[in-house]
Amino acid sequence: MTNMNTGKTSLDTAYIQIGEMGCSGCANTIQDALNSLNGVEKATVDLEKESAAISFNAGTVSKNDFERVISEAGYEFRGFRLAP
């Protein structure tokens, strides 16, 4: 969605539950994979909570993309929700 006042695209925020992370290296691998996706502004992975918070452009990247890169990295995609 484009903000008509600034011309900038507004970002959505998603929270993803991720399984099978055992160390900070795992979290960094997932974070790097998510941040490499076109349309992701910022992804932050929390090892202790087994989750990621992602700011992204929904017109460019989707839940399916997040699920794919997490699975390809060898981890379990457990859930997805958009911030209100």
- pLDDT of 38 reads 98
The low-confidence residues of the chain, meaning pLDDT below 50, are 1-6
- pLDDT of 10 reads 87
- pLDDT of 66 reads 98
- pLDDT of 8 reads 61
- pLDDT of 3 reads 44
Unique residue bearing structure tokens 């539950």: 17
> Which pTM was predicted?
0.87
Q: Which CATH number fits domain 12-82: 3.10.20.600, 3.40.50.300, 3.30.70.100, 3.20.20.70?
A: 3.30.70.100
Its sign, for the CA torsion 47, 40, 83, 72, is negative
Rounded distance, CA 50 to CA 2, Å? 32
